[in-house]
Structure formats: C-alpha cells, structure tokens
Amino acid sequence: MTEIYDKDSIKTIESIEHIRLRPGMYIGKLGDGSSPDDGIYVMLKEIVDNSIDEFLMGEGKTIDVNVSEDGKIQVRDYGRGIPLEKVVAAVSIMNTGAKYDSSVFKKSVGLNGVGSKAVNALSSEFIVESVRDGKIKRAEFTAGKLVREFDITTTKERGGTFISFIPDEELFPKFHFIPEYIEKMLWNYCYLNEGLTINYNDTRLVSKNGIVDLLNNEIDSSPLYPIVHIKDQDFEFAFTHINTQYGEEYFSFVNGQHTTQGGTHQSAFREAFARTVKEFYKKDYDTQDIRTSLVAAISIKVVEPVFESQTKTKLGSVYMEKKDGETIRNYILNSVKKNLDDYLHIHSDIAEAMLAKIHLSERERKEIADFKKITRERSKKTSLRNEKLRDCRLHYNESYKNEKDEERRLSTTIFITEGNSATGSITKIRDVNTQAVFSLRGKPLNSYGLGKKVVYENEEFNLLQAALNIGEELEGLRYNNIVIATDADVDGMHIRLLLLTFFLQFFPDIVRHGHVYVLQTPLFRVRNKQKTIYCYSEDEKTAALRGFGTAANKGSVEITRFKGLGEISPDEFKVFIGSGMRLDPVIMKKDQNVRELLTFYMGKNTPDRQGFIIDNLRIDVD
C-alpha cells in the first residue's frame, strides 16, 4: 500500500528537536569516545572554541577545563561574558550570536551560531553562567529545553562564561572520555595561541614556541635539520624532514581550529612548498622526492572561514576575506615563495641538508619504481582471485551528500582478521555499507628495520596497502577506522604486534591520527534460559554471575569460555561489531619514542627484553 502524501505529511519541528533527530549534521558521528572524532569531543571543542574566540579578541588569557570521571565537562573562561539579557537565547535558539558581526569576532572559529546550541540539545544536563560588570545570570537545561532560569544578581566573581554539560546517554550509550584525546586537543589550542594558558584538571598547558613546540612533541625521532619556523602576518608555518618517516604529514589550522582533513590552505601549502624548492635549486625535482618525509605545521587566519561541515575539519574557503579578498592559494603561494626562498638563501646548511634528503628520496624511488608497478598489478589480480578484501559500499574518500552520509563516512571500518572462521563470521553479519573485511593468511612479516621495498615485495603487506588505498600520502585512505580483529591468545597478540610494527614503521600518521583500533571480543558467555551476558574480563564474569541471583538460578547458568574468534557464531558476532562494538584505540602518547619502542619489542632479542618478559610473565589457569 502506498503511503498517503498530503498536507498532514509536512512537519515542522523546532531547531532543538532537529539537532537531536539529526545529530550527525552538527557533530559528525556519535560514538562512545573510543575515536578522537566522536561527537563527545566535538561537543567539548564547540564550547572551548567560544572561549578561544574571546581570547583572540584580547579578552581572557586563561581557560579552565575540567572533565570528571562521571562524564561531566566544565569550561570556564575569563572573557567578556555573554550579555546577560541574551544568555538563554545564545545557548538555545539557533542562529543566534554575535559572530555574524565580523567587527566583534573578526577571525573566529565559530561563525554559524550553532555550536553551543548543539551541545545543549545533545546534553542531559547543560548549565550556563555569565558574569559581566559584577552581575551574574544562570540558566539550566535538559536536552536543550530550559528547566530553570535565575534572575540576574550581583556577584564578586571574575567576568567570563561558565558552561557545564553531560552528554546524553540516550544518544551516547556507555560513553567515556579518553584523557589523551582531550589533552591533545587542548594542547593544539595552546600551540596556536601565544599567551594562552589552559588548566586541564590538574595539568597546566602553555606553549612558549607555538607550532615549533607542536612539531617537537609530535616528532619521535631526530629531524634531519632544526625545525624551520616562518611567520608572515596571518600565515605561519614550521617544517622539517624526518629520515625515518615515509610519506608526508601535516598539522593544519584555521583560526586555531585543527583541520584534520586539510582543505584549501593545506593544498596550497603543499603546492607552494614543492614549487619554491624546485625554483630555489633550479631543478625540476619530482614533487614526491621533495615532500617525502616532510612534517609540517601550518596556521592561517581567515575572515569568515567556510568549512565543509559543522565539525570544521576541512577548510572550503577560497578567499582570505568574503568580499574582494585575495585567494588563499595565491596568498600562501606568495608567502611561501618569498619567505622560504629567503630562508634557504640565508641558511645554506639547511638548504644542503634538504637537498641531500631529496637526492636520497630520488634514489629510493627509482630503485623500487619498476617493482612497484609489477606488484601493483599483481595485487589487483591476487586480491580479486583470493577474495582477500570484502569491501564496503561507502568509502572514506568518497564525497558525501548529506548528514547521514557524513556519519557513515566517519563509521567506515575495515576489520583485519585471521583465519577463515573469524573472517566468515564477520563477513556474514557486517554492515555492508560501512564495514569491510581483509583476511590475513598466516602471520605477517616482522617489518622492523626493513626498507620501504618490503611494502611492495611482501605479498601480504602489498595487498593490505592496496586495500587501504595508502601510498606516499594518506589522503586516499578508504576507511576511517582500521580494526585489528585477532584472537586474544598468544598468536593473536603476536599478529597485533606485527601489524602495528608495519603501520608504525611505514605509515605512523595512521596511528597518530587515531585510525587504528583493536577489537575487543568477549572472553565468556554467561547465560541461562532467560538471558545471556557477554563478559570481557574475569571481573565482568563475576558481576554477571551475581546478577543471576539465587544459588538455584546459578546452578542453571552455563559459562562458555571463548578460545578464539572462530568459535563465535555469526549471530553472536553481530553484537560485537554492531552498535555495542568495543574498540581499544591505539594511542601514541607524547612521551613515546616510536623508534625506541619498536627496537625494544620487535628488534633483536636482548637481555633487557628477556628480563621484561620474565618480570611480566603471567600464567592464566582456567
């Protein structure tokens, strides 16, 4: 029967209802906090962005951020405070704010009057307080609806704005904040805003050298030459080459906003850097040889920037200013050409080091060029013949047309599995739109200390690289989430280490940017005739048994210990890779040196490692 389409089919909903109905439009994917681009981090960013905008206008040099264990976030700045008569409207009525007036917020991050309203709508508790001229205004909300409004009263508190919120568990079931993700986000604000101090829980974050500090903290091995840092009005950049890194890596920002997907400014810088280097050396070097192992941070300030989505991860602006402005591309081309060329002429030692790196990259590229071509063709045929890859329909690098596609894009996942049983189970019940499966054949090679040729010479790595669509750059990465799905036994753990060694050795920014995870699967199934509980640890098993109540009930409880993924039926797997999927993110901490880490765990057997194994030996007895 055809649905009736008439005047009653046309609905009008309030803006707050629309946010809750279509949250992907405003914060990307929801998620549980396992990924750095999950919505709960976007919510925090939206609130901090407002405080940063105050700082950019010269108001308030300190921001306090507190995140409690129960998931409550509190942000306090010491800026001008929201005008007291407009406090409720500013956080609850869409398209309301001062940032439409460029004279008030000239080079702001938040321009759409959406951020705080979206956070309000998606929170089970949202509190706002504004202090101006010795007076305070407070309002409280639930799911975006005003539940209590206080009269304006006098106060001795410092001026500024206080926001407290708790993400709504109806939308973010079992959410949790990962401190490393929050700290990295807050550090980026400090790197980009000289003189800013952020107090995060008990940690004081402040940067004296801006984006130079950023690169020093992100680089885990010695650079080929000291970091070059150039400032030019509304644009600055810093860079160096890393001998142990393949590909190129960028940390790009617009008005202090970390544009993780790049955009106009990043593309212009990449073009400008290669062009300037060619002209300086008066030789038409291959662009790949110039940019291989380049690590750079770039920051630009733009009046009324246009981003490709509300989450502001990719700049779409063409002009520096909205009307009659110079194009961003030309501005960056001219700035890099002049400043980088001058710098290389003055600092001949750095120019020589860069030239030596270009020649090294050129030799390596030519050595593997023919082999690359052969293995590329082989990988296409082999992957089809062996069905190594069961692909999904929506890829990371495809354009999206609406908020649903944006949420799916962020959810695109590839499971790297071992064994036919596990591969078959996951393949059978996966979401074919967003989830792909890559099947390993045996244990991968230990790639530690091997050259780049191994990526193309080793069939398993060659096929995996082709499946992920990664090469000299990561812009074509087909899946937002790379999930290692191996057994939780010794062999499975070893395969995890071998895969992580491969990624860290040749594509470390995949890990740095939060794309790699380990799938958690249950160790136990506890059930009786009434219910089934899956347990991921001994503690969860004990708690589950308590939940079954009386001794009589416990007597009818069946406990199954899963030895491997192949023992879990497809119907059960549906629980573990669906909405309730548990992922452990692979996080590279600031103080971790990847080279030292790999040398210790994956290098030649040493007395130190033997001692570590003995000291940490644990025998599990079923």
Burial 129-149 (b: 16+ CB within 10 A, else e): bbbbeeebbbbebebbeeeee
The dihedrals phi and psi of 585, each to the nearest 5 degrees, come to: -70, 145
Q: What is the pLDDT of residue 371?
A: 65
Q: How confident is the model at residue 552 (pLDDT cuts 50, 70, 90)?
A: very low
Q: What is the pLDDT of residue 149?
A: 95
DSSP 450: -
Pairing, β 481-485 against β 413-418: parallel
Q: Which residue pairs from 599-607 have beta carbons closer than 8 angstroms and sit at least 24 positions apart in sequence?
A: 599/448, 601/497, 601/501, 602/446, 602/448, 602/497, 602/501, 603/448, 603/449
Average pLDDT for 333-359:
95
3-state helix, strand, coil in the chain (%, to 5): 40, 20, 40
Q: Match domain 387-520+577-608 to its CATH number in 3.40.50.670, 3.40.50.300, 3.40.718.10, 3.40.50.720.
A: 3.40.50.670
Name the E strands within 498-565. 516-520, 524-527, 532-535, 558-561
Q: How confident is the model at residue 205 (pLDDT cuts 50, 70, 90)?
A: very high
Q: How confident is the model at residue 102 (pLDDT cuts 50, 70, 90)?
A: very low
Q: Which residue has the higher pLDDT, 200 or 377?
A: 200
Q: Kindly compute the dihedral angle of the four CA atoms of residues 321, 329, 410, 304, in this order, to the nearest 10 degrees.
A: -10
Round to whole Å and give the CA distance between 585 and 447: 22
Q: Which residue has the higher pLDDT, 595 or 187?
A: 187
Average pLDDT for 87-115:
62
DSSP string computed for 59-81: --SEEEEEE-TTS-EEEEE-SS-
Of the candidates 120, 111, 114, the residue with the CA atom closest to the CA atom of residue 94: 114
Q: Which residue has the higher pLDDT, 25 or 285?
A: 285
Secondary structure class of 337 (helix, strand, coil): helix
Of the candidates 447, 432, 519, the residue with the CA atom closest to the CA atom of residue 481: 519
Q: Which residue has the higher pLDDT, 15 or 120?
A: 120
Q: How confident is the model at residue 399 (pLDDT cuts 50, 70, 90)?
A: very low
Least confident stretch, 99-108, 325-334, 434-443, 611-620:
99-108
Q: Which residue pairs from 283-290 have beta carbons closer than 8 angstroms and sit at least 24 positions apart in sequence?
A: 285/358, 285/362, 286/362, 286/365, 288/361, 288/365, 288/472, 289/358, 289/361, 289/362, 289/365, 290/358, 290/361
Angle subtended by helix axes 348-386 and 264-281, to nearest 10: 120
Q: Given strand 257-258, what is the order of strands in its sheet?
A: 228-232, 235-241, 294-300, 249-254, 257-258
Q: What is the pTM of this model?
A: 0.76
**What is the tens place of the pLDDT at every residue in 417-465?**
987 777 888 888 898 888 999 998 888 888 887 877 777 778 888 888 8
Q: Kindly compute the dihedral angle of the four CA atoms of residues 498, 501, 503, 509, in this order, to the nearest 10 degrees.
A: 150
In sequence order, what are the beta bridge partners of 76?
64, 162
Burial 407-437 (b: 16+ CB within 10 A, else e): bbbbbbbbbbbbbebbbbbbbebbbeebbbb
Q: What is the pLDDT of residue 385?
A: 45
Round to whole Å and give the CA distance between 394 and 433: 6
Average pLDDT for 591-609:
69
Domain with CATH 3.30.565.10 in the chain: 15-206
Whether the predicted pLDDT of 551 surpasses 50: no
**What is the tens place of the pLDDT at every residue in 212-226?**
999 998 887 778 999
Of the candidates 173, 113, 165, 104, the residue with the CA atom closest to the CA atom of residue 139: 165
Q: What is the pLDDT of residue 73?
A: 96
Whether the predicted pLDDT of 84 surpasses 80: yes
Q: What is the pLDDT of residue 35?
A: 85
Q: What is the pLDDT of residue 400?
A: 44
Round to whole Å and give the CA distance between 449 and 423: 30
- Mean pLDDT of all residues in the chain? 82
Whether the predicted pLDDT of 508 surpasses 90: no
DSSP 2: P
**What is the tens place of the pLDDT at every residue in 18-34?**
888 888 888 888 888 98
Length of the chain: 622
Q: Dihedral sign, CA of 118, 121, 125, 126?
A: positive
> Which CATH superfamily does the domain covering 15-206 fall into?
Histidine kinase-like ATPase, C-terminal domain (3.30.565.10)
Q: What is the pLDDT of residue 13?
A: 53
Whether the predicted pLDDT of 585 surpasses 70: yes
DSSP 565: G
Round to whole Å and give the CA distance between 416 and 342: 48
Question: According to the per-residue pLDDT averaged within each range, which of 112-121, 373-382, 482-491 is highest?
Answer: 482-491
C-beta neighbour count of 198 within 10 angstroms: 26
Least confident stretch, 94-108, 180-194, 489-503:
94-108
Q: Match domain 211-360 to its CATH number in 3.40.50.720, 3.30.230.10, 3.30.700.30, 3.40.50.1820.
A: 3.30.230.10
Round to whole Å and give the CA distance between 99 and 90: 11
Round to whole Å and give the CA distance between 502 and 448: 7
Average pLDDT for 4-20:
64
Average pLDDT for 555-572:
79
Round to whole Å and give the CA distance between 216 and 227: 8
Domain with CATH 3.30.230.10 in the chain: 211-360
The gap from C-alpha 418 to its chain's centroid, in whole angstroms, comes to: 26
Whether the predicted pLDDT of 622 surpasses 90: no
Burial 545-570 (b: 16+ CB within 10 A, else e): beebeeeeeeeeeeeeebebbbebee
Question: Do residues 452 and 472 touch, judged by C-beta distance below 8 A?
Answer: no
For the chain, how many helices (H) and strands (E)?
A: 22, 23
The dihedrals phi and psi of 412, each to the nearest 5 degrees, come to: -60, 130
DSSP 109: S
Round to whole Å and give the CA distance between 488 and 523: 8
Q: What is the pLDDT of residue 539?
A: 87
Q: What is the pLDDT of residue 321?
A: 62
Whether the predicted pLDDT of 525 surpasses 50: yes
**What is the tens place of the pLDDT at every residue in 155-174?**
999 999 999 999 999 999 88
Question: Do residues 60 and 51 touch, judged by C-beta distance below 8 A?
Answer: yes
Domain with CATH 3.40.50.670 in the chain: 387-520+577-608
Average pLDDT for 69-73:
92
Whether the predicted pLDDT of 113 surpasses 70: no
In sequence order, what are the beta bridge partners of 604?
none
**What is the tens place of the pLDDT at every residue in 271-284?**
999 999 999 999 99
**What is the tens place of the pLDDT at every residue in 358-386?**
999 888 888 777 666 665 665 555 544 44
Q: How confident is the model at residue 590 (pLDDT cuts 50, 70, 90)?
A: low
Q: Which residue has the higher pLDDT, 481 or 4?
A: 481
Pairing, β 235-241 against β 294-300: antiparallel
Whether the predicted pLDDT of 288 surpasses 70: yes
Angle subtended by helix axes 39-56 and 179-192, to nearest 10: 20
